[in-house]
Amino acid sequence: MPFVRPSEMLSGTPLPGWSGRFLHSANMTFAHYDIAADAAPLHEHHHEQEEVWHVVDGEIALTIGGEEQVLTAGCIAVVPPDTPHSVRPLAATRAIIADYPLRPNLPGQTLSE
Average pLDDT over residues 87-101: 98
Length of the chain as a residue count? 113
Residue ranges covered by each domain of the chain: 10-107
What pLDDT does residue 104 have?
86
Question: What is the CATH architecture of 10-107?
Answer: Sandwich (2.60)
Strands annotated E in 1-92: 10-12, 18-24, 29-35, 42-45, 50-57, 59-64, 67-72, 76-79, 85-89
pLDDT at 106 over 90: no
pLDDT tens digits for range 38-87: 999 999 999 999 999 999 999 999 999 999 999 999 999 999 999 999 99
pTM for the structure as a whole: 0.91
